[in-house]
Amino acid sequence: MIGTSVAFLELMTLIAKLARYDVPVVIEGETGTGKELAARAIHYNSRRSAHPFIPVNCGAIPDTLFESELFGHRRGAFTGARDDQPGLVVLAHRGTLFLDEVDSLTLKGQVSLLRFLQDQQYRPVGGGSVRQADVRVIAASNRSLDDLSAAGHFRPDLLYRLKLMHVCVPPLRARHGDARVLAEHFMHTASGRFDKPPKAFAAETLDWFDHYGWPGNVRELEHLVYREFLLSDDMQLCIPPPDGAQPALTMSGSVPTYKQAKAAAIEAFERQFLTTLMARSCGCISVAARLVHTERRHLGKLLKRYRIDPVRLRA
C-alpha cells in the first residue's frame, strides 16, 4: 500500500490499530480501491501473520456449494464428492479468512456464515463430528452493508457479527497527490516485470492525474500505466487525458486577476476538502457534519453547490 495523502495516512493508522485486536472487520470501499490489500495489511501486522491468509470471492461460489467450500465435505456427500475435502476454514487455521464480495451471499449462505461466526464451530457437509476453527474473519464489500441490511438484502444479525470493526477505503480521487506516487510505483513495477527500462511521465500527464476522478480507482491507474508503458516507443510517456480530466492551468494563456486566482484556489480547496470528508464518512452527510462540527444543512448546501453526490462516495 503506497501513498502520502492525508486520507491514505489516516487509513494506515486505522489499519495498524485494528491489526492489534483479533476481531472481525468489515472493509468497505469502491471497486479498485484496494480492499484486499487493506485486509492483507491487517493480517500481516497481526499476531496471525505467520499463518495463512486465505482469500475467497463469495460472488464466485454457487449457493449450493458455499457450505462445502467453507467447511469441507465428506466422501459421498453429494454427486462428485469422491474424497473427503477440507474447507477454507481448515486452510485458514490460525490465520485469516478474507471474504471478498460478502454482499453477494444469498440469505442461505448468510445463515451458514452466521452460524459459524457465533462460536467458530462447524460440521463438514455429509456428516461427521462438530469441529472447532481458529480463524479471523475479514469481510469486504463495494456496497454499503448497512444500506443492504436496511433494504432486507443482508441479515442484521450477521452484520452485527461481522462489523465489530469497520474500515472505509477512500477512493483515489480523495487521495490528493497519490495518483502521481502510485503511477511512479507502477512504472517501476512494469519495468522489472517486463524487463524494459523505466520511462518518465510528461509533466502534463502528471498534472491531469491530480484532477481526474478515477472511477476505476487504483486498478484503473495501474492498468493505464501498464498499457501505455508497453505500447509506447518513446522514452517519455505523454498520456492524453480521458473525458472528465481537467487540464492543468498554464501561464501560456491570459493571467487571472488576484481576485480570480483567490476564488479558484478557494473553490479547489473546498471541493477537495468535501470530497475527502465524504469519502472518510462513506457518503453519510450526518457523520461528515459531526466530524467537522458543522450543521448537516450547511454541509448539504456545499455539496449541492459543488455537485458532489454523496451516493457515489458510499462503499
CATH of the domain at 237: 1.10.8.60
Which of 106, 136, 170 lies at the terminal end of a domain, its last residue?
170
Reference 101, options 151, 51, 58, 145; nearest CA is 58
Which of 224, 248, 272 lies at the terminal end of a domain, its last residue?
248
How many structural domains is the chain composed of?
3
Residues 143 and 243 in one domain: no
Residues 164 and 313 in one domain: no
Residues 165 and 59 in one domain: yes
CA distance 284 to 311: 8
CA distance 37 to 11: 12
Q: What is the pTM of this model?
A: 0.75
Q: Establish if 211 belongs to a structural domain.
A: yes
Residue 167 · residue 25 · CB < 8 Å: yes
pLDDT in tens, 60-105: 888 878 888 888 766 645 555 566 677 889 899 999 999 999 999 9
pLDDT in tens, 9-47: 999 999 999 999 999 999 999 999 999 999 999 999 999
Residues 201 and 133 in one domain: no
Residues 158 and 10 in one domain: yes
For residues 291-309, one letter each, b for 16 or more C-beta atoms within 10 angstroms of the residue's C-beta and e for the rest, the string is: eeeeeeeebeeebeeeebe
Identify each DSSP E strand in 6-59 by its residue range.
25-28, 53-57
CA distance 154 to 83: 34
Which of 147, 170, 193 lies at the terminal end of a domain, its last residue?
170
Residues 124 and 203 in one domain: no
> Given this model, what pLDDT does residue 126 score?
67
> Given this model, what pLDDT does residue 71 score?
85
Residues 243 and 268 in one domain: no
Give the Å distances, CA to CA, from 48 to 19, 71, 88: 9, 20, 16
Q: Which domain holds residue 288?
A: 256-315
- Residue 147: is it exposed, middle or buried by C-beta count within 10 angstroms (0-12/13-18/19+)? middle
**Distance of alpha carbon 6 from the chain centroid:** 17
Residues 165 and 34 in one domain: yes
Q: Establish if 1 belongs to a structural domain.
A: no
Tell me which H or E stretch contains 266: helix 258-280
> Given this model, what pLDDT does residue 251 score?
41
DSSP state of 236: E
Residues 31 and 166 in one domain: yes
